[in-house]
Structure 1
Amino acid sequence: MTIKAVLFDYSGTLFRLEQDETWLADLTDHSGSPLDIEAQAELMRRMTAPVGQVVELDAEHLHAWQHRDRDPALHRKVYLEVLGKSGVPRREEAVALYERLIDPGQWTPYPDTEAALKAASERGLKVGVLSNIAFDIRPAFTARGWDAYVDEFVLSFEVGAVKPELEIFRKAVEGLGVPATETLMVGDSEEADGGARALGCEFALVDPLPTAERPDALLMALRGFGIG
């Protein structure tokens, strides 16, 4: 099979939201005590989990959770609820942390993100970034000049569809102008990103490890399909 386009997931694939001690240092729990290290780590896990419900929610917030990546207002609503139920009961603290979490400038790229994007682009392949997300991630690329390697951004809140729905993969391959059968999807979720297979795409799974522990998984994924 000849691959003519590559779609990359964002969170846990190209970039990772990693714990910054300064964000969490002033957070306090219901008793007013600082969050311990385990609580901080669990908080970050809940804020970045690609699939699955992370806390118990009432019907109103469950609806918001199920549609969070289609609507920024619902995303904000439910994640403030998640923060409140995850040890950050003070609204002002939750809002301040949430604003950092949706700032693409706060996300850390994997060590080989630039090399992977560049390798695909310089081979003449179409490159897309396809993400279930409720905020604009383009600034994370433009700030580094990496937008030069990306032909198309397909963001769930802009197109009204989320992975693994076929519609979002269809929009992505149509935007790149390459058949699904000649497109590789690279992502960290078998459930969400792996849904591209149902449209005919190839799929490569990477592990959403901390960036310091995953130096070359993207390049290895591309090489597995003769790219690089």
Structure 2
Amino acid sequence: MRPIFRQYFLTTRTDLAAATRAACGAIGHADADAIIDSYRPQPARVFPDALPCLEWLKTRGFRMFGLSNCTPWEAGGLVETGLAAFLEDVIYSFDAGAIKPEQPIFQRAIEQVGIPTAEVTHVGDSLGADIHGAISVGWKAVLLDRGRSSEHPGLPPAVPVISTLDDLPDSLT
């Protein structure tokens, strides 16, 4: 299902109904309307450490942008939560036509935002999508592991691991 989800939901700017109908058609499922009718989007949530961390970064002159694998109908979550106010821009997978860890979404971010590659540190919670993707284009990376695991097989040695965004400032120095 990952290739179907990637193709119809994450890398194309379309609405939920059109994406669901296309995906159902691709897999031979006849009742797309039942799936559409049962879908209930989850409200966006923000961890308590996120806004204070973004405020700290902003007051110290860090330039920030978002990089998201999400559907077009989930994209408003950054505005709803107040996170978008701290970001210069957000690069969405559905606009880039690629998802993290694929290089095109990371490269689009550099082109769109204009921050030199050597100055970018990507903070993410997925070793594969975030950390390996960022490193593949020459960015620094920080793994945010909110207590899911103490082991990270395949983690590059120079990548710090933090359990809360409160620890991010120490990992940037």
TM-score normalized with structure 2 length: 0.70
CA distance in 2, matches of 1:75, 1:218: 34
Paired residue for 2:140, among 188, 202, 206? 202
- Does 2:171 correspond to 1:224? yes
Q: Specify the alignment match of 1:128 in structure 2.
A: 65
- Where in structure 2 are there 5+ consecutive unaligned residues? 149-162
What is the total number of aligned residue pairs between the two structures? 150
For residues 35-94 of structure 1, give each alpha carbon's deviation from its aligned partner in whole angstroms, at most 9, with x where no partner exists.
Answer: xxxxxxxxxxxxxxxxxxxxxx5xxxx642342311245753559xxxx9xxxx9x64x4
1:62-81 correspondence to structure 2 within 5 Å: 63-67=3-7, 68-71=9-12, 72=14, 76=20, 78=23
User: Helix, strand or coil for the counterpart of 2:41?
Assistant: helix
User: Per-residue deviation at 1:176?
Assistant: 2.3
In 1, Cα distance between the equivalents of 2:19 and 2:124? 21
Structure 2 residue aligned with 1:118: 55
Is contact 1:127-1:176 (8 Å) kept? Answer: no
Give the equivalent residue in structure 2 for 1:22: none
CA-atom RMSD, angstroms?
3.2
- Which SS does the other structure have where 1:196 is aligned? helix
Q: Distance in 2 between matches of 1:145 and 1:206?
A: 20
Paired with 2:19 and 2:141, the residues of 1 have a C-alpha distance of 28
Measure the CA separation in 2 of the matches of 1:200 and 1:193: 12
Structure 2 residue aligned with 1:168: 105
The alignment partner of 1:192 has SS state of helix
SS at match of 1:161: coil
Q: Counterparts of 1:155 and 1:142 in 2: how far apart (Å)?
A: 14
| 1:135 to 1:147, Cα distance in 2 relative to 1, 3 A | same
TM-score normalized with structure 1 length: 0.55
The higher-RCO structure (CA 8 Å, 6+ apart) is 1
In the alignment, structure 1 segments of 5+ residues that lack a partner are: 1-56, 211-215
1:108 Cα deviation after fit: 1.4
CA distance in 2, matches of 1:203, 1:112: 19
Q: Residue 114 of structure 2 aligns with which residue?
A: 177
Instruction: Give the distance between the partners of 1:114 and 1:153, measured in 2 at CA.
Output: 16
Q: What does 1:39-54 correspond to in 2, within 5 Å?
A: none
Q: Which residue of 1 aligns with 2:153?
A: none
1:188-199 to 2 correspondence within 5 Å?
188-194=125-131, 195-199=133-137
